[in-house]
Structure 1
Amino acid sequence: MKLYVGKLPYRTTDQELGDLFSQYGQVVSATVIIDRDTGRSKGFGFVEMSNDQEAQSAMNQLNNSSLEGRSIVVNEAQEKRDNRGGGSGGFQRRDSRDSRGGGGGYRDRRY
């Protein structure tokens, strides 16, 4: 079972996250998510445990517990949504920008 761990202290490492959860069972992987631009932690991560019962126990014990003075959140991880092809890239087709007609773009205005 894969768990989401949020509100982590920013200096938490993969090793520390894995060690925390290993108290409750076998940890397959523990990853703190890093911002690729800054190289700093985003304050959340994922832990995968080999046994669902152990993962459930870890989630029950660690959710809302304190880690270095911060109250962490532990939930079952949700599947990543695939945003490709859904038109969610921030771009619109030219003909659908303005439903009122006339375009409404900057070229239609006088400055």
Structure 2
Amino acid sequence: MSIYVGNLSYDVTQEDVSQVFIEYGTVVRVHLPTDRETGKMRGFAFVEMGDDAQETAAIEALDGAEWMGRNLKVNKARPREENNNRSFGGGGGGRRNNY
């Protein structure tokens, strides 16, 4: 499981996030998603800690805390939902096969 960290400054680095969370245990991984088109930070991160107790301690201590001029939103990350209704590509423009 991992931790979702929202409302981050767009200037934050993986090292910055790691330094905050290391106070609560072992930081296994920090992932800072970026926008596909611009390559810029999206304002949130996912942090994996050594175990559930460390994650819980970090969430309790940091949720709502002020950091880099922003109030953090920190909670357990939810599994990504699959969207089966997504449209891929340009489609066929409404063409039909009339056999």
Counting only pairs closer than 5 Å after superposition, residues 33-72 of structure 1 correspond to structure 2 as 33-72=33-72
Structure-1 separation of matches of 2:56 and 2:85:
37
Q: Which residue of 1 aligns with 2:86?
A: 88
Q: Which residue of 2 aligns with 1:14?
A: 14
TM-score, normalized by length of structure 2? 0.84
The alpha carbon displacement at 1:18 in A equals: 1.2
Structure-2 separation of matches of 1:45 and 1:89:
27
Q: Deviations over 1:81-111 (max 9, x none)?
A: 122xx223287xx5xxxxxxxxxxxxxxxxx
Q: Percent identity?
A: 34
Structure-1 separation of matches of 2:11 and 2:85:
36
Could you list the runs of 5+ residues in structure 2 that have no partner in the other structure? 95-99
* C-alpha contact 1:17 1:31 (8 A) present in aligned 2: no
Structure-1 separation of matches of 2:87 and 2:6:
26
TM-score, normalized by length of structure 1? 0.75
Q: Which residue of 2 aligns with 1:107?
A: none
The alpha carbon displacement at 1:77 in A equals: 0.3
Q: CA RMSD in A?
A: 2.0
Q: Deviations over 1:48-95 (max 9, x none)?
A: 011100110000000000111100100100111122xx223287xx5x
2:54 is paired with a residue whose SS is helix
Q: Which residue of 2 aligns with 1:108?
A: none
Question: Comparing both chains, which one has the higher relative contact order based on Cα–Cα distances under 8 Å and sequence gaps of 6 or more?
Answer: 2
The alpha carbon displacement at 1:6 in A equals: 0.3
